[in-house]
Amino acid sequence: MSQQTAGIHHITAFVKNAQDNVDFYAGILGLRLVKKTINFDAPEVYHLYFGNEVGSPGTAITFFPWETARHGRIGGGQVGYTTFLVPVGSLDFWEKRLDKFQVEYRRIERFQEIYLQFADKDGLQLEIVEREGGPASQWTFGGIPADKAIKGFGGAILYSVAPKHTMEVLEKLMGLTRVGEENGLVRFQAPGDLGNIIDVNAEPMPRGAGGAGTVHHIAWRAKDDQDHRLWQSRVAQSGFHPTDIIDRQYFHAIYFREPGEILFEIATDPPGFERDEPFESLGEKLMLPEWYEPHRAEIEQGLPPIAVHVLAEDKE
Protein backbone atom coordinates (compact mmCIF):
# COMPACT_ATOMS: atom_id res chain seq x y z
CA MET A 1 0.00 0.00 0.00
CA SER A 2 1.51 3.31 -1.04
CA GLN A 3 1.86 6.19 1.40
CA GLN A 4 -1.19 8.43 1.81
CA THR A 5 -1.79 11.50 3.92
CA ALA A 6 -5.02 11.38 5.95
CA GLY A 7 -5.67 15.00 4.92
CA ILE A 8 -4.95 18.51 6.14
CA HIS A 9 -2.96 18.81 9.39
CA HIS A 10 -3.20 22.62 9.71
CA ILE A 11 -3.44 25.77 7.60
CA THR A 12 -1.42 28.90 8.41
CA ALA A 13 -2.26 32.44 7.32
CA PHE A 14 -1.17 36.05 7.78
CA VAL A 15 -3.40 38.68 9.39
CA LYS A 16 -2.84 42.15 10.79
CA ASN A 17 -4.38 42.57 14.22
CA ALA A 18 -4.02 39.90 16.89
CA GLN A 19 -7.12 40.81 18.93
CA ASP A 20 -9.28 41.00 15.78
CA ASN A 21 -7.96 37.56 14.92
CA VAL A 22 -8.94 36.16 18.33
CA ASP A 23 -12.35 37.83 18.18
CA PHE A 24 -13.12 36.36 14.75
CA TYR A 25 -11.91 32.78 15.15
CA ALA A 26 -12.69 32.27 18.86
CA GLY A 27 -15.45 34.86 19.33
CA ILE A 28 -17.49 34.39 16.15
CA LEU A 29 -16.46 30.96 14.82
CA GLY A 30 -16.18 29.48 18.32
CA LEU A 31 -12.85 27.72 17.86
CA ARG A 32 -10.65 27.20 20.88
CA LEU A 33 -7.41 29.18 21.10
CA VAL A 34 -5.30 26.12 21.89
CA LYS A 35 -1.86 27.69 21.73
CA LYS A 36 -0.45 31.15 22.12
CA THR A 37 3.18 31.16 21.06
CA ILE A 38 5.49 33.13 18.79
CA ASN A 39 6.70 32.74 15.24
CA PHE A 40 9.85 30.72 15.97
CA ASP A 41 11.53 32.45 13.02
CA ALA A 42 10.38 35.97 14.09
CA PRO A 43 9.81 36.16 17.87
CA GLU A 44 8.25 39.65 17.71
CA VAL A 45 5.15 38.10 16.11
CA TYR A 46 2.57 35.82 17.77
CA HIS A 47 1.74 32.42 16.39
CA LEU A 48 -1.86 31.69 17.38
CA TYR A 49 -3.44 28.25 16.93
CA PHE A 50 -7.21 27.71 16.91
CA GLY A 51 -8.98 24.36 16.66
CA ASN A 52 -11.30 21.93 18.36
CA GLU A 53 -10.90 21.34 22.11
CA VAL A 54 -7.29 20.14 21.69
CA GLY A 55 -6.45 21.43 18.22
CA SER A 56 -6.45 17.90 16.77
CA PRO A 57 -4.78 17.44 13.39
CA GLY A 58 -7.36 18.43 10.79
CA THR A 59 -8.82 21.21 12.98
CA ALA A 60 -6.01 23.73 13.48
CA ILE A 61 -5.99 27.06 11.70
CA THR A 62 -2.99 29.13 12.71
CA PHE A 63 -2.02 32.77 12.28
CA PHE A 64 0.87 35.17 12.30
CA PRO A 65 -0.75 38.50 13.25
CA TRP A 66 1.54 41.28 12.09
CA GLU A 67 0.09 44.75 12.49
CA THR A 68 2.33 46.50 9.98
CA ALA A 69 2.08 43.83 7.28
CA ARG A 70 0.86 44.91 3.88
CA HIS A 71 -2.20 43.23 2.49
CA GLY A 72 -1.64 40.33 0.15
CA ARG A 73 -3.59 39.38 -2.93
CA ILE A 74 -5.30 36.01 -3.05
CA GLY A 75 -4.34 34.10 -6.18
CA GLY A 76 -2.36 31.28 -7.74
CA GLY A 77 0.21 29.59 -5.53
CA GLN A 78 -2.00 29.80 -2.43
CA VAL A 79 -4.88 28.14 -0.65
CA GLY A 80 -7.86 30.08 -2.06
CA TYR A 81 -10.54 29.01 0.44
CA THR A 82 -10.27 27.31 3.78
CA THR A 83 -13.31 25.10 4.38
CA PHE A 84 -14.74 24.48 7.85
CA LEU A 85 -16.91 21.47 8.57
CA VAL A 86 -20.09 21.70 10.66
CA PRO A 87 -22.60 19.01 11.66
CA VAL A 88 -25.46 18.19 9.28
CA GLY A 89 -28.43 20.40 10.06
CA SER A 90 -26.45 23.34 11.42
CA LEU A 91 -26.02 25.54 8.31
CA ASP A 92 -29.08 27.66 9.15
CA PHE A 93 -27.62 28.29 12.60
CA TRP A 94 -24.39 29.50 11.00
CA GLU A 95 -26.25 31.73 8.54
CA LYS A 96 -28.03 33.42 11.45
CA ARG A 97 -24.78 33.66 13.37
CA LEU A 98 -22.94 35.36 10.50
CA ASP A 99 -25.91 37.75 10.16
CA LYS A 100 -25.75 38.51 13.87
CA PHE A 101 -22.10 39.52 13.62
CA GLN A 102 -22.68 41.34 10.33
CA VAL A 103 -20.33 39.07 8.44
CA GLU A 104 -21.38 39.18 4.78
CA TYR A 105 -21.66 35.77 3.16
CA ARG A 106 -22.97 34.10 0.04
CA ARG A 107 -24.59 30.73 -0.27
CA ILE A 108 -23.24 28.70 -3.17
CA GLU A 109 -23.56 25.14 -4.41
CA ARG A 110 -20.73 22.92 -5.62
CA PHE A 111 -20.47 19.17 -5.99
CA GLN A 112 -24.07 18.99 -4.68
CA GLU A 113 -23.17 20.63 -1.39
CA ILE A 114 -24.20 24.04 -0.03
CA TYR A 115 -21.42 26.32 1.15
CA LEU A 116 -21.52 29.60 3.05
CA GLN A 117 -18.61 31.70 1.80
CA PHE A 118 -17.34 34.70 3.71
CA ALA A 119 -14.13 36.42 4.72
CA ASP A 120 -12.46 37.44 7.95
CA LYS A 121 -11.52 41.05 8.66
CA ASP A 122 -8.33 40.77 6.62
CA GLY A 123 -10.14 39.25 3.64
CA LEU A 124 -9.02 35.66 4.16
CA GLN A 125 -11.51 33.53 2.21
CA LEU A 126 -13.40 31.00 4.30
CA GLU A 127 -16.39 28.74 3.85
CA ILE A 128 -18.59 26.46 5.92
CA VAL A 129 -20.08 23.17 4.73
CA GLU A 130 -22.25 20.55 6.44
CA ARG A 131 -21.15 16.95 6.29
CA GLU A 132 -21.52 13.74 8.23
CA GLY A 133 -18.32 12.28 9.60
CA GLY A 134 -15.46 13.63 11.59
CA PRO A 135 -15.63 13.66 15.39
CA ALA A 136 -17.84 16.37 16.93
CA SER A 137 -15.97 19.21 18.61
CA GLN A 138 -16.13 19.10 22.40
CA TRP A 139 -15.64 22.85 22.66
CA THR A 140 -18.50 25.27 23.22
CA PHE A 141 -18.11 29.01 23.30
CA GLY A 142 -20.30 32.08 23.22
CA GLY A 143 -23.63 31.32 21.61
CA ILE A 144 -22.54 28.11 19.90
CA PRO A 145 -23.98 24.86 21.26
CA ALA A 146 -21.81 21.74 20.95
CA ASP A 147 -24.05 20.18 18.30
CA LYS A 148 -23.50 23.18 15.98
CA ALA A 149 -19.79 23.73 16.62
CA ILE A 150 -17.19 23.59 13.85
CA LYS A 151 -15.70 20.08 13.80
CA GLY A 152 -12.52 21.11 12.01
CA PHE A 153 -11.60 21.46 8.36
CA GLY A 154 -13.81 20.08 5.62
CA GLY A 155 -10.93 20.75 3.24
CA ALA A 156 -9.74 23.59 1.06
CA ILE A 157 -9.76 25.02 -2.44
CA LEU A 158 -6.24 25.24 -3.82
CA TYR A 159 -5.40 27.98 -6.33
CA SER A 160 -2.59 26.67 -8.48
CA VAL A 161 -0.55 28.42 -11.18
CA ALA A 162 0.06 24.97 -12.74
CA PRO A 163 -2.92 22.84 -11.76
CA LYS A 164 -1.97 19.80 -13.86
CA HIS A 165 1.23 19.53 -11.84
CA THR A 166 -0.47 20.29 -8.52
CA MET A 167 -3.04 17.57 -9.20
CA GLU A 168 -0.29 15.13 -10.06
CA VAL A 169 1.39 15.90 -6.72
CA LEU A 170 -1.90 15.40 -4.86
CA GLU A 171 -2.55 12.05 -6.55
CA LYS A 172 0.87 10.50 -7.01
CA LEU A 173 2.78 11.91 -4.04
CA MET A 174 0.19 12.75 -1.36
CA GLY A 175 -2.01 9.77 -2.20
CA LEU A 176 -5.32 11.57 -2.72
CA THR A 177 -7.98 10.16 -5.04
CA ARG A 178 -9.57 12.20 -7.82
CA VAL A 179 -13.33 11.98 -7.30
CA GLY A 180 -14.96 14.57 -9.58
CA GLU A 181 -14.85 17.65 -11.77
CA GLU A 182 -17.37 20.47 -12.01
CA ASN A 183 -17.40 24.14 -13.04
CA GLY A 184 -13.66 24.50 -13.35
CA LEU A 185 -12.79 22.66 -10.15
CA VAL A 186 -11.38 19.16 -9.76
CA ARG A 187 -12.15 17.40 -6.50
CA PHE A 188 -9.79 15.11 -4.60
CA GLN A 189 -10.37 13.05 -1.48
CA ALA A 190 -7.98 11.88 1.23
CA PRO A 191 -8.80 8.89 3.48
CA GLY A 192 -9.19 10.86 6.76
CA ASP A 193 -12.51 12.15 8.09
CA LEU A 194 -11.43 15.81 8.55
CA GLY A 195 -9.66 18.10 6.09
CA ASN A 196 -10.05 15.45 3.43
CA ILE A 197 -11.85 17.15 0.50
CA ILE A 198 -9.54 19.23 -1.68
CA ASP A 199 -10.72 21.15 -4.74
CA VAL A 200 -8.24 22.51 -7.29
CA ASN A 201 -8.82 25.00 -10.11
CA ALA A 202 -8.70 23.11 -13.44
CA GLU A 203 -7.15 25.99 -15.41
CA PRO A 204 -4.04 27.91 -14.32
CA MET A 205 -4.70 30.93 -12.13
CA PRO A 206 -2.63 34.13 -12.07
CA ARG A 207 -0.17 34.32 -9.23
CA GLY A 208 -1.24 35.96 -5.97
CA ALA A 209 0.92 37.94 -3.58
CA GLY A 210 1.62 36.98 0.01
CA GLY A 211 0.59 39.27 2.86
CA ALA A 212 -2.19 39.85 5.37
CA GLY A 213 -5.40 38.08 4.39
CA THR A 214 -3.67 35.24 2.54
CA VAL A 215 -2.72 31.70 3.45
CA HIS A 216 0.99 31.10 3.90
CA HIS A 217 0.99 27.30 3.70
CA ILE A 218 -1.09 24.17 3.99
CA ALA A 219 0.21 21.28 6.08
CA TRP A 220 -0.62 17.62 5.46
CA ARG A 221 -0.69 14.89 8.07
CA ALA A 222 2.05 12.35 8.73
CA LYS A 223 1.21 9.61 11.25
CA ASP A 224 4.43 9.72 13.26
CA ASP A 225 8.16 10.41 12.95
CA GLN A 226 8.84 7.20 11.04
CA ASP A 227 6.12 8.04 8.50
CA HIS A 228 7.48 11.59 8.37
CA ARG A 229 11.01 10.50 7.42
CA LEU A 230 9.51 8.36 4.67
CA TRP A 231 7.57 11.40 3.42
CA GLN A 232 10.75 13.44 3.35
CA SER A 233 12.57 10.90 1.19
CA ARG A 234 9.57 10.42 -1.10
CA VAL A 235 9.25 14.20 -1.62
CA ALA A 236 12.94 14.31 -2.55
CA GLN A 237 12.65 11.27 -4.83
CA SER A 238 9.77 13.00 -6.62
CA GLY A 239 12.18 15.78 -7.62
CA PHE A 240 11.16 18.38 -5.03
CA HIS A 241 13.31 19.94 -2.37
CA PRO A 242 12.05 19.25 1.14
CA THR A 243 13.61 21.13 4.04
CA ASP A 244 15.28 19.32 6.90
CA ILE A 245 12.93 18.07 9.59
CA ILE A 246 12.15 21.07 11.80
CA ASP A 247 10.98 20.85 15.42
CA ARG A 248 7.84 22.99 15.74
CA GLN A 249 7.31 21.88 19.37
CA TYR A 250 3.81 20.55 18.74
CA PHE A 251 4.73 18.59 15.60
CA HIS A 252 7.71 17.97 13.37
CA ALA A 253 7.62 19.63 9.97
CA ILE A 254 9.12 19.58 6.50
CA TYR A 255 8.27 22.11 3.81
CA PHE A 256 8.47 22.12 0.03
CA ARG A 257 6.95 24.23 -2.72
CA GLU A 258 4.89 22.15 -5.14
CA PRO A 259 5.09 23.06 -8.85
CA GLY A 260 1.81 25.01 -8.71
CA GLU A 261 3.73 27.26 -6.28
CA ILE A 262 1.67 26.43 -3.17
CA LEU A 263 3.84 25.96 -0.08
CA PHE A 264 3.21 22.47 1.27
CA GLU A 265 4.21 21.32 4.73
CA ILE A 266 4.05 17.76 6.04
CA ALA A 267 3.57 17.65 9.82
CA THR A 268 3.43 14.80 12.33
CA ASP A 269 0.25 14.14 14.30
CA PRO A 270 2.16 13.82 17.60
CA PRO A 271 2.97 15.26 20.08
CA GLY A 272 0.15 17.86 19.87
CA PHE A 273 -0.74 20.91 21.92
CA GLU A 274 -1.02 19.21 25.31
CA ARG A 275 2.73 18.69 25.19
CA ASP A 276 3.47 21.74 27.36
CA GLU A 277 0.11 22.80 28.86
CA PRO A 278 -2.70 20.89 30.55
CA PHE A 279 -6.02 20.52 28.68
CA GLU A 280 -7.84 22.92 31.03
CA SER A 281 -5.55 25.88 30.38
CA LEU A 282 -4.54 25.35 26.74
CA GLY A 283 -3.81 28.67 25.05
CA GLU A 284 -3.85 30.79 28.18
CA LYS A 285 -0.16 31.36 28.74
CA LEU A 286 2.41 32.54 26.20
CA MET A 287 4.36 29.37 25.50
CA LEU A 288 7.95 29.67 24.33
CA PRO A 289 10.36 27.01 23.15
CA GLU A 290 13.17 26.63 25.66
CA TRP A 291 15.70 28.49 23.50
CA TYR A 292 13.54 31.64 23.76
CA GLU A 293 12.71 31.26 27.50
CA PRO A 294 15.71 33.42 28.61
CA HIS A 295 14.21 36.28 26.53
CA ARG A 296 10.64 35.92 27.82
CA ALA A 297 10.41 39.37 29.41
CA GLU A 298 11.41 41.29 26.29
CA ILE A 299 9.37 39.03 24.01
CA GLU A 300 6.24 39.56 26.13
CA GLN A 301 6.83 43.30 26.18
CA GLY A 302 6.94 43.42 22.38
CA LEU A 303 3.64 41.59 21.89
CA PRO A 304 0.21 43.27 22.10
CA PRO A 305 -1.99 41.90 24.92
CA ILE A 306 -4.83 39.67 23.67
CA ALA A 307 -7.77 38.01 25.37
CA VAL A 308 -10.43 35.49 24.41
CA HIS A 309 -13.80 36.90 25.38
CA VAL A 310 -17.47 36.42 24.58
CA LEU A 311 -18.42 39.18 22.14
CA ALA A 312 -21.13 41.73 22.83
CA GLU A 313 -23.51 40.23 20.22
CA ASP A 314 -23.48 36.95 22.17
CA LYS A 315 -24.41 38.70 25.41
CA GLU A 316 -27.57 40.35 24.11
CB closer to Zn ion out of 130 and 265: 265
* Count of residues touching Zn ion (by CB under 5 A): 3
Encoded one letter per residue, x for contact with Zn ion by CB under 5 A and - for no contact, window 4-43 reads --------x-------------------------------
CB closer to Zn ion out of 116 and 222: 222
CB closer to Zn ion out of 12 and 201: 12
CB closer to Zn ion out of 81 and 264: 264
* Shortest reach from residue 203's CB to Zn ion, in Å: 28
Question: Contact between 194 and Zn ion (CB under 5 A)?
Answer: no
Of 29-37, 120-128, 213-221, 293-301, the window that binds Zn ion (rule: CB under 5 A) is 213-221
Among 265, 266, 288, 308, which residue interacts with Zn ion (rule: CB under 5 A)?
265
Question: Contact between 196 and Zn ion (CB under 5 A)?
Answer: no
Of 177-185, 260-268, 274-282, 295-303, the window that binds Zn ion (rule: CB under 5 A) is 260-268
Question: Contact between 219 and Zn ion (CB under 5 A)?
Answer: yes
Each residue of 236-250: b (16+ CB within 10 Å) or e? eeeeeebeebeebbb
CA 9 to chain centre: 8
Question: Contact between 221 and Zn ion (CB under 5 A)?
Answer: no
CA 304 to chain centre: 23
CA pair distance 73, 71, nearest whole angstrom: 7
* Shortest reach from residue 241's CB to Zn ion, in Å: 17
* Shortest reach from residue 39's CB to Zn ion, in Å: 11
Question: Contact between 74 and Zn ion (CB under 5 A)?
Answer: no
Under the phi-then-psi rule, with left for phi > 0, alpha for psi from -120 to 50, and beta for the rest, what region is 279? alpha
Residues forming the site for Zn ion (CB under 5 A):
12, 219, 265
